[in-house]
Structure 1
Amino acid sequence: MKLLNNSIMLLASAMLLMSSCQSNDIDNEHHYDNKLYISSEGVCSDLLIRADITEASREISYRLAAPATEDIQINVGAIPSMAATYNLMYNDNAIALGDEYYEIPEKTATIKAGDVSGDNIVINFKNTNQLDDKKRYVLPVSFMSASNIDLLDSKRTVYYVFKGAALINVVANISKTYFPVKWKSSVSGLKTITVEALLRSADWEAGRDNPLSSVFGIEGTFLVRIGDADRPRNQLQMVAPGGNFPNPNVAPGLPTNEWIHIAVVYDATTGERLYYQNGNLVASDNAASSSVSLGSNCYVGYSYDSSRYLPGEISELRIWNVQRTADQIATSMYTVDPTTEGLIAYWKFNEGTGGNIHDYTEHGNDLSGGTVEWVNVELPE
């Protein structure tokens, strides 16, 4: 009986202790400071100074740690003087963005009682093409005040940074996807073709059984691809009249984790077949023998079946009906005038959103159908 009484007393003590712990947990949950803070990125640095970009918009999101017990009024404003703070924090040398380049349509917002956030704050930028692209600019926007709530000082300001655009700022990773080419240009009976592209892959092997990576063209007719059963998987070849070119182990393979510009020329008027890497001729022969038509079953990133995808990123894919010279290729790897004579299609793969790829020529050979992962870059590096 004494043992039973002791057990009952121990059980009662444990229950009392658990009740006390739960009570303390509840007290702790309801006795921290509820504060307002910015939940979007503290530094937005993807704003580019480019002649073709005149305006942009960004939004500030914010929230509370717990639902508001009453309506909270928020006021925001730009604080140009905080450019110095930004420079110290991020080791930058930006100057404050002038007020003629932005507007904040609504500088107040409300978090309703019971909510943890309200409508985003919108900042509109304008005339940014007039900024000096050799300088960097910053616009600090901060919560100035909030009624009935404290502000979390470490997250009450966001910095919008403008910088001069690189020649290429966005590229497309098209691994395991592809684009059928629905030509609006005349691509029948081409005697001369030049294909150019910027490529990067982390692994040309890509952990797959198929040794082929497709860039552009038509299976069995005219195709620019990488790898094969008779060569390393990082060696480019052009399938074209005259046989596959170049032969195995004639030209250097493509590097991994590094951008490389490739260009192949097929010219039945001269017999030349040429292969350039980064503007340097690495292989040639004189086996080009007949005209080529690209009208049917032409793809970007596909040939024969979907296992032959391009395992990486692509930019600046161009198709010409003229032979590009070594000098022309070497001096225009990162951009080219879309009105240049002989340019049939020009896919920059720089849209940054969605899966539709614009043809920058006037021919309208836009691409659609693929699923793209957009990657921010600065090229040339």
Structure 2
Amino acid sequence: MKMKLLIIAAIVALFTGCKNEEDFRDVIYFTGTETTPTTKYSIDGPSDIGISISASCKVKNDVTAQVQVRPELVESYNKEYAKNYKPLPKGCYQLSATSLVLAEGKYVSNPLRLSITSVEDFEEGVTYCLPISIVSVEGGLPVLESSRTVYAVINQTIITYATDFGGSGYFAVPFSDDESLQSVPQVTMEARVYVKEFKGSNPFISSIMGIEENFLLRFGDVNIDKNQIQLAGGKFPVTGTLQFETNKWYHVAVTYDGAQIKLYINGELNATTDAPRGPIDLAASKGFYVGYSAGGRQLKGAVSEVRVWTKALSEADIANNICYVDPTSDGLLAYWRCNEGTGKAIKDWSGNGWDVTVTGSVSWTEGVRCPDN
């Protein structure tokens, strides 16, 4: 019996050893794609991006990889990763070569140059993707299949204005004029926000947007830190876990789908709670405000890309459209880009007529970048 067990163990060890040898064989791959095939770049204008291949070992002889642009892969990438990228427009880029050489004794090749030669055909707020694949190899090493294609994701940085309330300005939205908004089954509110100073006195509240005691996105309260975000009102508050910093841009969003309230920070889910509260009354008599709620609980800071939706956006929807969204998007109730740069009037880009005027003082922050990293 003992001999049988030893033989079985030896067979298992033999096959395990073969499998490990296969799993850990030396390979080549696009540099930086070991854990994800995506590399992200933000550009202001024409730019050069370096792309190279790496090996899991110091190569014993020259290894040459032929590469090819494959825009047709964008569609399948979007489906797999829940994105809405577009192929990089033809004529706006060039590759300096169609092959990469890993020289004998090296781990990494010299890079080829992906040149973005023009951004004139870029659409505002659109993120582009350029898949580049290894199509053949000479020199003996196989390709790591999960890294055969690198997806170069390219954002054009938007440089714009933002509305700075300075702690005394805000705007009211006359949703109460529309009876159809008295019972909204699903809601999303989102904005980019930059706080200069959190409220330092009781009740420590800095309001972002919404309706007091109903559906209000705000920072702080007497029972949470002044720099914690919270969706308050309606008996189902939900508080974020992040301690926000001053003088830093964040994207914040809250969704209600009829069953749960979810808080998102910079496109990622941060907190959630069950909330069987029924439809939201966006036309409530207390009024819908941006930068204000009852008792002078105003925002000392700036906002940009402020939006209200009559549907619950998904995490992918939020993450994919932080800097801009198509104004004709389904369910978009109101959209204030807050990029006027002068005066007190702020346009609603949704086409639904919710143009507003700032009450109190307002200034305009120049050179706001999105993405800002």
TM-score bucket (shorter structure): 0.5 to 0.7
Aligned AA (2:333): I
**Shift of the alpha carbon at 1:258?**
1.1
The reply to whether residue 192 of structure 1 matches residue 186 of structure 2 is yes
**Shift of the alpha carbon at 1:214?**
0.8
CA deviations 1:320-369 (Å, max 9, x no partner) are: 01110011111110100010000000011100000111100110001113
Structure 1 segment 152-231 matched on structure 2, within 5 A: 166-175=157-166, 176-183=168-175, 186-205=180-199, 207-231=200-224
TM-score by length of 2: 0.55
CA deviations 1:243-279 (Å, max 9, x no partner) are: 2213xxx5112222211100101121xx111011111
Mapped to 1, the partners of 2:343 and 2:156 lie a distance apart of 21
The reply to whether residue 341 of structure 1 matches residue 330 of structure 2 is yes
Residue of structure 2 in register with 1:373 after alignment: 363
More strand by proportion, 1 or 2?
Answer: 2
Aligned AA (2:170): Y
- Counterpart among 233, 248, 251 of residue 261 in structure 1: 251
Residue of structure 1 in register with 2:292 after alignment: 302
Mapped to 2, the partners of 1:299 and 1:316 lie a distance apart of 15
**Shift of the alpha carbon at 1:133?**
4.2
**Shift of the alpha carbon at 1:209?**
4.5
**Shift of the alpha carbon at 1:217?**
1.4
Structure 1 segment 264-283 matched on structure 2, within 5 A: 264-268=254-258, 271-283=259-271
- Counterpart among 301, 304, 315 of residue 326 in structure 1: 315
The reply to whether residue 361 of structure 1 matches residue 350 of structure 2 is yes
Report the CA distance shift for 1:321/1:133 in structure 2 as closer, same or farther (over 3 A): same
**Shift of the alpha carbon at 1:208?**
4.4
User: Unpaired segments of 5 or more residues in structure 1?
Assistant: 1-47, 50-130, 135-163
- Contact 2:209/2:291 (CA < 8 Å) preserved in 1? yes
TM-score by length of 1: 0.54
Aligned AA (2:242): P
CA deviations 1:12-49 (Å, max 9, x no partner) are: xxxxxxxxxxxxxxxxxxxxxxxxxxxxxxxxxxxx99
Residue of structure 2 in register with 1:316 after alignment: 305
- Contact 2:202/2:222 (CA < 8 Å) preserved in 1? no
- Contact 2:213/2:234 (CA < 8 Å) preserved in 1? no
- Contact 2:346/2:358 (CA < 8 Å) preserved in 1? no
Mapped to 1, the partners of 2:201 and 2:362 lie a distance apart of 20
Mapped to 2, the partners of 1:344 and 1:315 lie a distance apart of 16
Q: Alignment partner of 2:229: what SS?
A: strand
Residue of structure 2 in register with 1:293 after alignment: 281
Larger-gyration structure (1/2): 1
- Contact 1:168/1:334 (CA < 8 Å) preserved in 2? no
Aligned AA (2:231): M
- Contact 2:159/2:370 (CA < 8 Å) preserved in 1? yes
Report the CA distance shift for 1:165/1:171 in structure 2 as closer, same or farther (over 3 A): farther
Aligned AA (1:193): V
Q: Alignment partner of 1:368: what SS?
A: strand
Mapped to 2, the partners of 1:195 and 1:300 lie a distance apart of 11
- Contact 2:188/2:255 (CA < 8 Å) preserved in 1? yes
Root-mean-square deviation (CA, aligned residues, Å) is 2.4
Mapped to 2, the partners of 1:288 and 1:373 lie a distance apart of 40
Aligned AA (1:327): A
User: Unpaired segments of 5 or more residues in structure 2?
Assistant: 1-43, 46-116, 121-154
**Shift of the alpha carbon at 1:202?**
2.5
- Contact 2:190/2:306 (CA < 8 Å) preserved in 1? yes
Task: Please list every run of at least 4 consecutive aligned residues from structure 1 whose deviation after the TM superposition is greater than 3 angstroms.
Answer: 131-134, 207-210
CA deviations 1:177-220 (Å, max 9, x no partner) are: 11111136542201111011101112224x54440011111111
